[in-house]
Amino acid sequence: MNRQIALNSARRGFLLFMLAFFILPFLWLATTAYKPSTDIFSIPPQLGFRPTLAQFTKALTIFDVPALVRSSIYIAGGSMILSLLLGVPAGYALARSSHRFAMALAYFFMSIRMVPAVAALIPFYLLMRDIGLVGHWFSVVLINCVLNTAFVSYMMYSYFRALPPEMEEAALTDGCTQFTAFWRVSLPAVRSGIVASSLFCVLFSWNDFLFAMFLTRLDSKPISVALLSAYGTKDITWGTLGALAHFSTIPIVLMVLALNRHFVQGLTKGVH
Amino acid sequence: MALSTSTAPSANPFAVFGSLTFTQRRKLFLAALAMPALIYVLLLGVYPLVKGIWYSLYDYNLIKPARTQFIGIDNYRELFIDSDMRQALLNTVVFTLGSVFFELVLGFVIALALWRDELFNRICLTLILIPVTITPLVVGLIFKGLLLADYGLVGYYLAQWGISDPRGLFASPDTALATLIFIDVWEWTPLVALILLAGLKALPTDILEAASVDGANPLRVFRSITLPLMLPSVLLALTIRSIDAFRVFDSVFVTTGGGPGNATNTLMVYAVKEGLSFFNIGKASAIANVSLLCTAMIAAGLIFLIRHYDKKASIR
């Protein structure tokens, strides 16, 4: 018995060590934002510091943070809504159809998600330039939506497939229209899948910066692009960067922690 | 499907389709639901990809539009002898193999440690997933800051104690790629652990229990039962991660930008630099297509393996 207790504590010790490994680097950047610049540049580097909010005031004066966050919200929200509108019905149709195309289409959607972004980005950039959308946040929504729609379609396909069709069939025989059967009967039953899909759409498009970097301009750039341009500028210290990173990472981390069950379920179920 | 035999309800608002049977209307309805997504992806996803193949057959530079002409496969022929391209391909392969290997090993150990269903493990799993959610760009910045040789919390000591180059891990061609692999392992091991944990939880417990009741030692149970049964999950994690690792861009772009020299130049970084910084669309498209082809081959190979083992598992 003693051996088991020892093994168990070793296991927990290992997990705590891993936890520290995966979380401390993130906490380092987060805490840098509360350090005065003199402490950041101290040699040798030190852990302790006198907390201050000066870095936040600096970040807020140098950057138009509300505008950056607003762009990020437009991009993430826009592509979430559009992808759900397109992807959820498609996932349902693929799961309910017995046509041989349905399976092929599901795999097609899955493979779209694996395409190296740059292969689509360069021609897409030229396309947007031709229709005059380069510089507008909506162009980022459009390209994010390609990947997200494909992702949502495939993810919802696996959620709808796991849903037994009997309830719908009963509704249809009771005289429901096909749309009502889809909207009122099936859709509420896959609520969890829809939450997970939305979460991943927001996560993907909020975190993207490759598309946004080339498709937006100064007045429409999201916070991820601002972070990149902030880095390497002379008068911006790691503290200011850490403060700015708060606005980019904290909303997502909180959202994922709050919806953790859906996040984990989506990762294990929908990603493949 | 049971639906195909049932008949249409008489009071149907879709009167236009009154002459159609229920099955026909069902098919139409499902097609109508799938069509918008399909059209969207074809129009804004597949069309640009095909256009990209087209561009790759041209000498096409946005800065010198007058020079534009069809050159067939010359862009590809050039890449074949281009030493930068060879280096980028090699870096990408090394990066992919290295990060996926360490992610699988460490991820498996973590998944095993998290296997038992208890509060401690559930809390651990929640917190351990944080790196997956952080913007990859910020992940790059975090490690860039930590590893700065001048005043970075870790980099300073590495440089002082002579473990790293005096200018830092990213500054030396010998350590830069390994450091990028380390960053990828930090960011994505939790995801691998989660996928493997889901696989572990789906294992048939009766077999495992029977084996330990029969007195098999834990190591033997792991080697002869757990590991073979986990093969499909391992392959799945392998597929997801190798495809993503092959497309690595964000962390490289932020930390080294492909340098020093081209020690960490990957296919994606190379293509983005050529295309969107030098506006050499033809060559960039060709690089992107090579990377697309490689990803497709990795995916096809691994999916073939998964199906092979799935069949084997179901026969058993």
What pLDDT digit, counting tens, does each position of B25-64 carry?
A: 888 999 999 999 999 999 999 999 998 888 888 888 888 8
Residue B254 lies in a domain: yes
Residue B57 lies in a domain: no
Same-domain check for residues B40 and B84: no
Strands B69-70 vs B58-59: parallel, antiparallel or unpaired: antiparallel
Same-domain check for residues B35 and B122: no
What average pLDDT does the structure give for chain B? Answer: 85
Same-domain check for residues B291 and B166: yes
- Report yes or no on whether pTM surpasses 0.90: no
Residue B62 lies in a domain: no
What single string gives the DSSP state of each residue in A175-206? T--HHHIIIIIIHHHTHHHHHHHHHHHHHHHH
Inspect the interface and report whether the beta carbons of A22 and B51 lie closer than 8 Å.
no
Beta bridge partners of B61: B280
Inspect the interface and report whether the beta carbons of A146 and B194 lie closer than 8 Å.
no
The CA distance from B316 to the nearest CA of chain A, in Å, is: 23
Inspect the interface and report whether the beta carbons of B145 and A253 lie closer than 8 Å.
no
Give the per-residue pLDDT at B8: 46
Inspect the interface and report whether the beta carbons of A22 and B160 lie closer than 8 Å.
no
Domain containing residue B217: CATH number: 1.10.3720.10
pLDDT reading at B259 higher than 80: no
Give the per-residue pLDDT at A25: 92
Same-domain check for residues B113 and B219: yes
Per residue in B200-222, pLDDT (tens digit) is 988 888 887 887 777 778 888 88
Residues of B with CB below 8 A from A143's CB?
Answer: 44
Q: What is the mean pLDDT of residues B78-95?
A: 91
Q: Which value does ipTM take for this structure?
A: 0.89
Same-domain check for residues B37 and B156: no
Type and span of the H or E element at B120:
helix B119-128
Same-domain check for residues B167 and B308: yes
pLDDT reading at B14 higher than 50: yes
Same-domain check for residues B253 and B195: yes
Give the per-residue pLDDT at A89: 95
- Chain A contact for B225 (CB, 8 A cutoff): no
Same-domain check for residues B111 and B158: yes
Number of structural domains (chain B) is 2
Beta bridge partners of A135: A216
Per residue in A103-152, pLDDT (tens digit) is 888 888 888 888 888 888 888 988 998 898 888 899 999 999 999 999 99
Q: Return the residue matching tokens 């296991």.
A: A11
Same-domain check for residues B99 and B241: yes
Round to whole Å and give the CA distance between A27 and A25: 5
Type and span of the H or E element at A140:
helix A137-161
Per residue in A51-77, pLDDT (tens digit) is 788 888 888 888 888 999 999 999 999
Same-domain check for residues B40 and B81: no
Residues of B with CB below 8 A from A110's CB?
Answer: none
Residue B131 lies in a domain: yes
> pLDDT tier at A15 (50, 70, 90 boundaries)?
very high
User: Measuring CA to CA, how many Å separate A223 from each of A58, A72, A75, A118, A165?
Assistant: 16, 6, 11, 21, 43
pLDDT reading at B235 higher than 80: yes
Same-domain check for residues B90 and B189: yes
A44, with CB counted inside 10 A (0-12, 13-18, 19+), is: exposed
The residue range of the domain holding B31 is 20-47
B36, with CB counted inside 10 A (0-12, 13-18, 19+), is: middle
Inspect the interface and report whether the beta carbons of A228 and B9 lie closer than 8 Å.
no
pLDDT reading at A230 higher than 70: yes
